[in-house]
Amino acid sequence: MNGKLVAVLALFLLSAAVSQGRAVARMGTELRCQCIATHAGFIPPKSIQDVKLTQSGPHCQNVEVIATLKNGREVCLDPSALWVQRIVQAILAK
């Protein structure tokens, strides 16, 4: 019994570690947050292809910033990080 519990906990921790900073796959008109965790570390702007800004609302209480990198990976950025705010301001100014 303890072996099964340890295996389940290890699987849960592994899935949480892998999903850090990633966006949940979007399906049509989902009414929930897309980001399960955010990435606060700096990402060079040259490696960012696109940024999507989602305001808080009935679907999610958090402001979400989802960056699509040039390698196709989607990363949820921390909207309170200064470098993220500067990138969003630069994009909105265009």
Catalogue all structural domains in the chain, each as residue range(s) with its CATH number.
2-93 (2.40.50.40)
Round to whole Å and give the CA distance between 85 and 88: 5
Q: 28 or 77: which carries more pLDDT confidence?
A: 77
Distance, in Å, from the CA atom of 9 to the CA atom of 15, rounded to the nearest integer, reads 10
pLDDT tens, residue by residue, 7-27: 545 445 445 544 545 555 544
- Cite the beta strand spans of the chain per DSSP E: 48-54, 64-69, 74-77
Higher pLDDT, 88 or 16: 88
Q: Look at residue 14 in the predicted model and tell me its pLDDT.
A: 46
Looking at residue 70, what is its pLDDT? 94
* Percentage, residues of the chain above pLDDT 90: 32
Cα–Cα distances in angstroms (integers) from residue 8 to residues 15, 81, 83, in the given order:
11, 34, 37
Mean pLDDT of 38-59: 89
Average pLDDT value for the chain? 77
Flag whether the pTM goes above 0.85: no
Please tell me the predicted confidence (pLDDT) of residue 28: 45
Residues in the chain: 94
Q: How buried is 86 (Cβ within 10 angstroms: 0-12 exposed, 13-18 middle, 19+ buried)? A: exposed
